[in-house]
Protein backbone atom coordinates (compact mmCIF):
# COMPACT_ATOMS: atom_id res chain seq x y z
CA UNK A 1 0.00 0.00 0.00
CA UNK A 2 1.43 3.36 -1.04
CA UNK A 3 0.99 5.96 1.70
CA UNK A 4 1.61 9.67 1.17
CA UNK A 5 0.88 12.90 2.98
CA UNK A 6 -0.14 16.11 1.20
CA UNK A 7 -0.47 19.54 2.77
CA UNK A 8 -4.13 20.23 3.50
CA UNK A 9 -5.97 23.39 2.52
CA UNK A 10 -9.16 25.00 3.73
CA UNK A 11 -11.00 23.13 0.96
CA UNK A 12 -10.07 19.85 2.68
CA UNK A 13 -11.41 20.81 6.13
CA UNK A 14 -14.91 19.34 5.77
CA UNK A 15 -13.68 16.02 4.39
CA UNK A 16 -11.02 15.69 7.07
CA UNK A 17 -13.50 16.54 9.83
CA UNK A 18 -15.86 13.83 8.56
CA UNK A 19 -13.08 11.20 8.59
CA UNK A 20 -11.97 12.39 12.03
CA UNK A 21 -15.46 11.90 13.42
CA UNK A 22 -15.67 8.37 12.04
CA UNK A 23 -12.21 7.52 13.38
CA UNK A 24 -12.89 8.74 16.93
CA UNK A 25 -16.51 7.62 17.34
CA UNK A 26 -15.57 4.31 18.98
CA UNK A 27 -13.41 6.04 21.59
CA UNK A 28 -16.07 8.63 22.31
CA UNK A 29 -18.67 5.92 22.84
CA UNK A 30 -16.37 4.34 25.43
CA UNK A 31 -15.07 7.39 27.31
CA UNK A 32 -17.60 10.16 26.58
CA UNK A 33 -14.64 12.51 26.76
CA UNK A 34 -15.66 16.14 26.26
CA UNK A 35 -12.26 16.83 24.70
CA UNK A 36 -12.67 14.09 22.11
CA UNK A 37 -11.85 14.94 18.47
CA UNK A 38 -15.19 13.28 17.70
CA UNK A 39 -16.81 16.50 18.91
CA UNK A 40 -14.54 18.77 16.84
CA UNK A 41 -15.32 19.97 13.35
CA UNK A 42 -13.94 21.69 10.30
CA UNK A 43 -13.62 24.98 12.20
CA UNK A 44 -10.82 23.52 14.35
CA UNK A 45 -8.97 22.27 11.28
CA UNK A 46 -9.36 25.71 9.70
CA UNK A 47 -7.92 27.28 12.87
CA UNK A 48 -4.91 24.95 12.78
CA UNK A 49 -4.33 25.75 9.12
CA UNK A 50 -4.09 29.40 10.08
CA UNK A 51 -1.40 28.85 12.72
CA UNK A 52 2.17 29.42 11.46
CA UNK A 53 3.71 26.75 13.71
CA UNK A 54 1.11 24.05 12.92
CA UNK A 55 1.01 21.74 9.93
CA UNK A 56 -2.01 19.82 8.72
CA UNK A 57 -1.72 17.02 6.19
CA UNK A 58 -4.21 14.76 4.53
CA UNK A 59 -3.23 11.08 4.31
CA UNK A 60 -3.73 9.13 1.10
CA UNK A 61 -3.43 5.37 0.70
CA UNK A 62 -3.08 4.22 -2.90
CA UNK A 63 -4.27 7.67 -3.95
CA UNK A 64 -7.47 7.63 -1.83
CA UNK A 65 -8.04 10.10 1.01
CA UNK A 66 -8.21 8.03 4.20
CA UNK A 67 -7.14 10.25 7.08
CA UNK A 68 -5.38 13.30 8.42
CA UNK A 69 -2.51 14.27 10.69
CA UNK A 70 -1.58 17.48 12.47
CA UNK A 71 1.55 18.47 14.37
CA UNK A 72 3.19 21.63 15.66
CA UNK A 73 6.50 22.95 16.91
CA UNK A 74 6.19 24.12 20.49
CA UNK A 75 6.60 27.88 20.79
CA UNK A 76 8.66 27.70 23.97
CA UNK A 77 10.94 24.82 22.90
CA UNK A 78 12.48 25.08 19.42
CA UNK A 79 13.02 21.65 17.91
CA UNK A 80 10.32 19.95 20.01
CA UNK A 81 7.30 18.83 18.02
CA UNK A 82 3.92 17.63 19.26
CA UNK A 83 1.95 15.13 17.20
CA UNK A 84 -1.41 16.66 17.98
CA UNK A 85 -3.66 14.27 16.07
CA UNK A 86 -3.66 11.43 13.59
CA UNK A 87 -6.74 9.58 12.36
CA UNK A 88 -7.54 6.92 9.78
CA UNK A 89 -10.87 5.64 8.49
CA UNK A 90 -11.98 2.72 10.73
CA UNK A 91 -12.05 0.19 7.89
CA UNK A 92 -8.39 0.94 7.04
CA UNK A 93 -6.97 0.97 10.56
CA UNK A 94 -4.44 -1.73 11.40
CA UNK A 95 -2.71 -1.60 8.01
CA UNK A 96 0.30 0.45 9.07
CA UNK A 97 -0.97 3.63 7.44
CA UNK A 98 -0.72 5.75 10.60
CA UNK A 99 2.83 4.71 11.52
CA UNK A 100 3.98 5.33 7.94
CA UNK A 101 2.33 8.75 7.96
CA UNK A 102 4.16 9.59 11.19
CA UNK A 103 7.51 8.80 9.59
CA UNK A 104 6.54 10.95 6.61
CA UNK A 105 5.65 13.86 8.90
CA UNK A 106 8.98 13.59 10.69
CA UNK A 107 10.76 13.72 7.33
CA UNK A 108 9.25 17.13 6.54
CA UNK A 109 11.23 18.95 9.25
CA UNK A 110 14.99 19.36 9.66
CA UNK A 111 15.35 20.75 13.16
CA UNK A 112 13.45 18.26 15.33
CA UNK A 113 15.19 17.07 18.49
CA UNK A 114 12.17 15.48 20.15
CA UNK A 115 8.64 14.43 19.22
CA UNK A 116 5.84 13.89 21.75
CA UNK A 117 2.28 12.59 21.66
CA UNK A 118 -0.46 11.34 23.95
CA UNK A 119 -3.23 8.75 23.68
CA UNK A 120 -5.81 6.97 25.89
CA UNK A 121 -3.71 4.68 28.09
CA UNK A 122 -5.94 1.62 27.58
CA UNK A 123 -5.79 1.73 23.77
CA UNK A 124 -3.29 -1.03 22.98
CA UNK A 125 -3.59 -0.65 19.21
CA UNK A 126 -2.58 3.02 19.48
CA UNK A 127 0.41 2.09 21.60
CA UNK A 128 1.56 -0.51 19.09
CA UNK A 129 1.26 1.99 16.26
CA UNK A 130 3.38 4.57 18.06
CA UNK A 131 5.94 2.01 19.18
CA UNK A 132 6.23 0.88 15.56
CA UNK A 133 7.06 4.50 14.71
CA UNK A 134 9.83 4.54 17.33
CA UNK A 135 8.09 6.19 20.29
CA UNK A 136 8.60 5.11 23.90
CA UNK A 137 6.38 5.55 26.95
CA UNK A 138 7.55 8.33 29.28
CA UNK A 139 5.53 6.94 32.19
CA UNK A 140 3.63 10.21 32.53
CA UNK A 141 -0.16 9.93 32.98
CA UNK A 142 -2.76 12.68 33.12
CA UNK A 143 -6.48 12.59 33.64
CA UNK A 144 -8.71 14.56 31.29
CA UNK A 145 -12.34 15.65 31.40
CA UNK A 146 -12.70 15.14 35.14
CA UNK A 147 -11.20 11.66 35.06
CA UNK A 148 -13.27 10.40 32.12
CA UNK A 149 -10.07 9.47 30.32
CA UNK A 150 -6.42 8.95 31.26
CA UNK A 151 -3.77 9.90 28.76
CA UNK A 152 -0.37 8.23 28.41
CA UNK A 153 2.54 10.27 27.06
CA UNK A 154 5.16 9.00 24.62
CA UNK A 155 8.24 10.55 23.10
CA UNK A 156 10.82 10.02 20.39
CA UNK A 157 14.26 11.57 20.66
CA UNK A 158 16.01 12.38 17.40
CA UNK A 159 19.84 12.10 17.50
CA UNK A 160 21.87 15.23 16.81
CA UNK A 161 23.44 13.52 13.77
CA UNK A 162 20.70 12.38 11.39
CA UNK A 163 19.89 11.85 7.73
CA UNK A 164 18.64 14.97 5.95
CA UNK A 165 18.61 13.62 2.41
CA UNK A 166 14.85 14.10 2.11
CA UNK A 167 15.16 17.70 3.28
CA UNK A 168 17.97 18.83 0.99
CA UNK A 169 15.68 21.43 -0.58
CA UNK A 170 15.44 23.20 2.79
CA UNK A 171 16.85 26.72 2.57
CA UNK A 172 18.87 26.38 5.79
CA UNK A 173 20.57 23.23 4.53
CA UNK A 174 21.34 24.83 1.16
CA UNK A 175 22.81 27.84 2.96
CA UNK A 176 25.06 25.55 4.99
CA UNK A 177 26.10 23.63 1.89
CA UNK A 178 27.16 26.89 0.26
CA UNK A 179 29.76 27.28 3.02
CA UNK A 180 31.45 24.04 2.01
CA UNK A 181 34.77 24.01 0.20
CA UNK A 182 33.12 22.63 -2.91
CA UNK A 183 30.13 24.99 -3.06
CA UNK A 184 30.71 28.69 -3.72
CA UNK A 185 27.16 30.03 -4.04
CA UNK A 186 23.60 29.36 -3.00
CA UNK A 187 22.70 28.62 -6.61
CA UNK A 188 25.40 25.99 -7.00
CA UNK A 189 24.58 24.49 -3.61
CA UNK A 190 20.91 24.20 -4.61
CA UNK A 191 21.85 22.43 -7.84
CA UNK A 192 24.12 20.03 -5.96
CA UNK A 193 21.37 19.37 -3.42
CA UNK A 194 18.99 18.36 -6.19
CA UNK A 195 21.64 16.08 -7.67
CA UNK A 196 22.33 14.46 -4.29
CA UNK A 197 18.63 13.80 -3.71
CA UNK A 198 18.42 11.87 -6.98
CA UNK A 199 21.62 9.85 -6.44
CA UNK A 200 20.94 6.60 -4.59
CA UNK A 201 24.62 6.27 -3.66
CA UNK A 202 24.70 9.69 -2.01
CA UNK A 203 23.73 10.25 1.62
CA UNK A 204 23.42 13.56 3.43
CA UNK A 205 23.51 14.16 7.17
CA UNK A 206 22.89 17.10 9.44
CA UNK A 207 23.91 18.05 12.97
CA UNK A 208 21.06 19.60 14.98
CA UNK A 209 21.13 21.17 18.44
CA UNK A 210 18.31 22.99 20.24
CA UNK A 211 16.19 23.22 17.12
CA UNK A 212 18.96 24.62 14.89
CA UNK A 213 20.77 22.75 12.13
CA UNK A 214 24.42 23.63 12.64
CA UNK A 215 26.25 21.36 10.24
CA UNK A 216 25.85 19.21 7.13
CA UNK A 217 27.91 16.42 5.62
CA UNK A 218 27.40 14.59 2.34
CA UNK A 219 29.04 11.33 1.29
CA UNK A 220 29.13 8.97 -1.65
CA UNK A 221 28.91 5.41 -0.39
CA UNK A 222 31.17 2.93 -2.17
CA UNK A 223 31.71 -0.74 -1.40
CA UNK A 224 35.05 -0.27 0.36
CA UNK A 225 34.95 3.39 1.36
CA UNK A 226 32.88 6.52 1.72
CA UNK A 227 33.83 9.71 -0.06
CA UNK A 228 33.03 13.08 1.49
CA UNK A 229 31.45 15.37 -1.10
CA UNK A 230 30.71 18.29 1.20
CA UNK A 231 31.04 19.15 4.87
CA UNK A 232 30.40 22.48 6.55
CA UNK A 233 29.44 24.09 9.86
CA UNK A 234 27.40 27.24 10.45
CA UNK A 235 29.58 30.29 10.98
CA UNK A 236 28.16 30.92 14.47
CA UNK A 237 28.86 27.33 15.56
CA UNK A 238 32.47 26.91 14.54
CA UNK A 239 35.28 25.91 16.93
CA UNK A 240 32.83 23.77 18.90
CA UNK A 241 33.92 20.45 17.48
CA UNK A 242 30.83 19.88 15.32
CA UNK A 243 32.81 19.11 12.17
CA UNK A 244 34.94 16.58 14.04
CA UNK A 245 31.80 15.10 15.63
CA UNK A 246 30.26 14.56 12.18
CA UNK A 247 33.43 12.79 11.00
CA UNK A 248 33.31 10.57 14.08
CA UNK A 249 29.63 9.80 13.49
CA UNK A 250 30.32 8.89 9.85
CA UNK A 251 33.16 6.63 10.92
CA UNK A 252 30.99 4.86 13.48
CA UNK A 253 28.07 4.49 11.08
CA UNK A 254 29.88 3.12 8.05
CA UNK A 255 32.99 1.48 9.53
CA UNK A 256 34.78 2.08 6.24
CA UNK A 257 37.76 4.06 5.06
CA UNK A 258 36.83 7.73 4.61
CA UNK A 259 38.28 9.73 1.74
CA UNK A 260 38.04 13.42 0.90
CA UNK A 261 39.64 15.85 -1.51
CA UNK A 262 40.21 19.41 -0.37
CA UNK A 263 42.33 22.52 -0.78
CA UNK A 264 44.78 24.38 1.42
CA UNK A 265 42.02 26.21 3.29
CA UNK A 266 40.54 23.04 4.82
CA UNK A 267 43.53 20.73 5.06
CA UNK A 268 44.18 21.55 8.73
CA UNK A 269 40.64 20.46 9.62
CA UNK A 270 41.15 17.02 8.12
CA UNK A 271 44.57 16.63 9.72
CA UNK A 272 43.14 17.47 13.14
CA UNK A 273 40.50 14.77 12.56
CA UNK A 274 43.24 12.18 12.02
CA UNK A 275 43.31 12.03 8.22
CA UNK A 276 46.47 11.14 6.34
CA UNK A 277 47.06 13.72 3.60
CA UNK A 278 48.81 13.56 0.22
CA UNK A 279 49.36 16.57 -2.04
CA UNK A 280 48.02 16.48 -5.59
CA UNK A 281 48.69 18.94 -8.36
CA UNK A 282 46.07 19.57 -11.04
CA UNK A 283 46.33 21.61 -14.21
CA UNK A 284 43.44 23.87 -15.22
CA UNK A 285 44.33 25.64 -18.45
CA UNK A 286 47.59 27.52 -17.84
CA UNK A 287 47.29 27.36 -14.04
CA UNK A 288 48.44 24.62 -11.71
CA UNK A 289 46.56 24.09 -8.43
CA UNK A 290 47.46 22.13 -5.35
CA UNK A 291 44.80 19.84 -3.92
CA UNK A 292 44.93 17.28 -1.14
CA UNK A 293 43.70 13.73 -0.89
CA UNK A 294 42.71 12.98 2.71
CA UNK A 295 42.31 9.42 3.98
CA UNK A 296 41.02 8.23 7.35
CA UNK A 297 41.56 4.48 7.79
CA UNK A 298 38.96 2.19 9.25
CA UNK A 299 38.97 2.43 13.02
CA UNK A 300 40.61 -0.60 14.61
CA UNK A 301 38.30 -2.69 16.79
CA UNK A 302 39.57 -3.46 20.27
Which CATH number is 267's domain given? Answer: 3.40.630.30
Within-domain flag for 30: yes
Higher pLDDT: 237 or 281? It is 237
Reply yes or no on whether the pLDDT at 177 is more than 60. Answer: yes
pLDDT at 181: 60
Per-residue model confidence (pLDDT) at position 289: 74
pLDDT at 137 over 80: yes
Distances (CA, A) of 91 to 18, 66, 95, 127: 14, 9, 10, 19
What is the number of structural domains in the chain? 2
Say what percent of the chain tops pLDDT 70.
96
Last residue of a domain, one of 108, 128, 157: 157
pLDDT in tens, 181-202: 655 788 999 999 999 999 999 9
271 and 129 within one domain: no
Q: What is the pLDDT of residue 242?
A: 97
- pLDDT of residue 296 exceeding 70, the answer is yes
Instruction: Examine the fold and report which residue of 106, 139, 157 is the final residue of a domain before the chain moves on.
Output: 157
List beta partners, residue 115: 81, 156
Beta-bridge partners for 73: 81
| Judgement on whether residues 121 and 261 belong to the same structural domain of the protein | no
16 shares its domain with 142: yes
Q: Let me know if residue 302 belongs to a domain.
A: no
**What was the pLDDT predicted at 265?**
84
Is 301 inside a domain boundary? no
| DSSP count for the chain of H helices, then E strands | 8, 14
| Same domain assignment for residues 254 and 168 | yes
Would 27 be classed as within a structural domain? yes
Looking at residue 139, its pLDDT comes to 97
Q: What angle do CA 170, 212, 48 make, to 5 degrees?
A: 70
Q: Are residues 64 and 130 in the same domain?
A: yes
Contact 264, 290 (CB under 8 A): yes
Comparing CA positions, the residue from 188, 225, 220 lying closest to residue 204 is 220
Q: Are residues 232 and 112 in the same domain?
A: no
Domain boundary among 116, 137, 157: 157
- Residue 56: pLDDT band (50, 70, 90) is very high
Both 95 and 180 in a single domain? Answer: no
List the domain range (segments joined by +) for residue 39.
Answer: 3-157
Same domain for 91 and 109, yes or no, is yes
Same domain, 176 and 102: no
Please tell me whether residues 129 and 171 are part of one structural domain: no
Same domain, 166 and 135: no
Residues 220 and 234 in one domain: yes
pTM to 2 decimal places: 0.85
Amino acid sequence: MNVEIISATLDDADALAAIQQQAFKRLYDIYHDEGSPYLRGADEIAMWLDRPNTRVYKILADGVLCGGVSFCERNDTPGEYYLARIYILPELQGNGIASTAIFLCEATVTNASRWTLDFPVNEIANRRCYEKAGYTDTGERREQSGGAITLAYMEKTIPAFRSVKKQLDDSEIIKLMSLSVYECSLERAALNAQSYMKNEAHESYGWVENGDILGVAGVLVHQEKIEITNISVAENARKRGIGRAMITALREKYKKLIEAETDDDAIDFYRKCGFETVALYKQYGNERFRRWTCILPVASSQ
